[in-house]
Structure 1
Amino acid sequence: MHHPRHTNRRDTARDNGSDRMRVLVHKRRGDQVVLGAIQERSPGGFKVSLSAAGLETFLQGRSTNIQPMIIAEALRQATILAAHELFDVPRGWAFLMDRLVVDLTELPEQPDLSAVGLSLSTRDVVTRNGRLSSLVSEVVFLVNDVRVAHGEGYLRVLEPRVYARLRGQREISSSLPSPGLEGGFRLHDVSTGPQRRWHVSIDPGDPFFFDHPVDHVPGMILFAAAIDGVSRASGVSANDLAFFDGVFDRFVELTEPLSLIVDLHMMAADHLEFEVSADGSRGSHAFRARLLVRPGPAVAQPGTSSVRGPTSRESVDRAQTADATHTIAAACVP
């Protein structure tokens, strides 16, 4: 796979404003950037606004998953930005998101997204030979300095030669036909029993998920598909997502069949807990996640006991951690 030439942060001096931000969050099109300008810096972190233009583009092309998708994409872009801006990772290196945590329990029902900013800090920073190897970003979303959401991104970084050796010659998204699916993917119900299962069709022509050519299914598609699957299984709006903790076990190849499995794990008075996994052609999980949604009147099931589930903070503390067998992530950002 082709990667841009190596540069360091000093090489970005000629980039300015939105164009510089576009480059640093790995976007080819400026209207796909959801971050605005960095407003304040601190050791190991920064504060940044959301981009009005990016939000407008996003809202025009999507009718569901709006709040969770914007928060998750802003977290993802901010984590990439942190690696370049705070740790001088050269352009062209491969970025792998092993795990993504998004907590929306404090988000108002109809937030003013244009008023949202975020504050990022980093922890568990690992370097090898003077270069960043991995980090965890902690991102807090704020409106008038009041926290409305937060999340974590577990990032690894690979040199281009290491990534090329790992991936070899794979199909590239730009070489595949676009079926013109709304939202970049479609779920086809193939359930045969109480377990809900969908086949996932991917549209490599979608500008949000495939802003630039990639050699795998982007992790954000798995994030969006998981929310969509839970919404369909529960009858709850995707915007009622309260918590997401997902682990990307491996790459999902662009041409391999992909199935999404949704299981109701627990019902409580204030939330429903679902376990979601995505299986490919290799017979093993490519992705697994735990989601909490706020229940609506349509999802109550008679004969099911209510058991108190963990709070969102407890969820983060005990949530899945990518173990040594998780050699690669589905959410790579070349």
Structure 2
Amino acid sequence: MSLEAVVAGVSHQQPIRRELTHRAAVAEVFVTSLATRDTGGYLAGAQLPRMHAYYGDHTGAPARLHDPLLIMETARQASIALTHEFFGAPLDSAFLVRTFNGAGVRGVAWETTPDPTNLVLAVDVPRVHHQAGAVCGLDMVLEISCPAGPLMTVDGSFSWTSPDRWSRLRGAFRQSLELPPAVGPTVAARPVPPGTVGRENRRNVIVGAPEQFGAAVRVPLAVDPLHPFLFDHHLDHVPGSVLLEVARQSALTLLDAGSANPQLLSVTSRFDRFAELDLRTECRAEITARTGDLTTVRCVIAQEATAAEIDLTFLDGREPG
């Protein structure tokens, strides 16, 4: 769908209420409007920050481009906000994500400019999940564009539940692992130097030193639960957004981020179970495909068992000459 066909229903004047996006900091709300679409479906507006301490912290070629995980975070915010606004999910709902995918579109739209980048998200809901006659989950597809062209198609499947049911669910899961009800101290490795994973700020490094394992690497989690963006509010587990970054940084240890400057283009992810903060977490990363200038890395994140499987496709970002 063209940007012109939907832009009339979108505003970029100010952020929506932060509680609709499950963010604590107003500065971390990127969605600016929500609306229904005359032809069916929904619309959201968003504005990308011109500089961001986490999403803007990259070296080499990726430093001049919008971060695909920023686009996916914007889609996550819009999806949750639309669920509250149009599907009756209470604001205190806890969300469970099953799949979350982003297919990037090559083109100049990824290049950052001195001006803020306004996004239009055209949203369709191909499936509504019900439980006991009530809506409890959605499958969503979001076509995301900016004035320079299309950026990414994001899709996902998720459900929501009440705080009481969430507490019971979390308690039962931790009991199955023979862990106490309350989350203990975070188990984290020593972070690798920032340049190893294409970062400048050491606070944005969340993986430890890789260990070679045949053609793959095993990378331990080195997450800081006090990170002001990744843990914008208190969480009792490692959230999906952090697992995506764990996968990216693990893949970058394999792809030589310091010299090759690989640019993340697409993500496919499936989340099977909770990742606990107080258990050692490891990501096994292995190259599964090379086609032209594209490389795909499969990441399996595990504790006692597999918590998530994430495939990332990178574009070779090496400078010519």
**C-alpha distance in 1 between matches for 2:262 and 2:81:** 26
Q: Which residue of 2 aligns with 1:171?
A: 183
Work out whether 1:227 is the aligned partner of 2:267. Answer: no
Work out whether 1:289 is the aligned partner of 2:285. Answer: no
Residue in structure 2 matching 1:277, options 286, 296, 300: 300
Work out whether 1:249 is the aligned partner of 2:244. Answer: no
**C-alpha distance in 2 between matches for 1:100 and 1:189:** 26
Counterpart of 2:235, as a letter, is: V
Q: Which residue of 1 aligns with 2:106?
A: 106
Change beyond 3 A, Cα 1:205–1:279 = same
Change beyond 3 A, Cα 1:147–1:138 = same
Q: Which residue of 2 aligns with 1:63?
A: 58
Change beyond 3 A, Cα 1:172–1:213 = farther
Q: Superposition pairs for residues 42-57 of structure 1, below 5 Å?
A: 42=38, 45-51=41-47, 56-57=51-52
Change beyond 3 A, Cα 1:55–1:41 = farther
**C-alpha distance in 1 between matches for 2:184 and 2:25:** 18
CA contact (8 A) 1:44 1:122 kept: no
Q: Which residue of 2 aligns with 1:316?
A: none
CA contact (8 A) 1:132 1:157 kept: no
TM-score, L = length of structure 1: 0.73
Q: Which residue of 1 aligns with 2:87?
A: 87
Change beyond 3 A, Cα 1:42–1:62 = farther
Q: Which residue of 2 aligns with 1:27?
A: 23
**C-alpha distance in 2 between matches for 1:51 and 1:144:** 12
**C-alpha distance in 1 between matches for 2:308 and 2:71:** 20
Identity %: 22
**C-alpha distance in 2 between matches for 1:28 and 1:38:** 19
In the TM superposition, residue 23 of structure 1 has moved relative to its aligned partner by 0.9
In structure 1, runs of 5+ residues without a counterpart are 1-16, 299-334
How many residues are aligned here? 276
CA contact (8 A) 2:15 2:31 kept: no
Work out whether 1:141 is the aligned partner of 2:144. Answer: yes
TM-score, L = length of structure 2: 0.76
Secondary structure at the aligned position of 1:74 is classed as helix
Q: CA RMSD in A?
A: 3.0
Q: Which residue of 1 aligns with 2:126?
A: 123
Worse-superposed segment, 22-31 or 183-192: 183-192
Change beyond 3 A, Cα 1:87–1:255 = same
Q: Which residue of 2 aligns with 1:311?
A: none
**C-alpha distance in 1 between matches for 2:270 and 2:55:** 29
Secondary structure at the aligned position of 2:245 is classed as helix
CA contact (8 A) 1:261 1:276 kept: yes
Work out whether 1:264 is the aligned partner of 2:287. Answer: yes
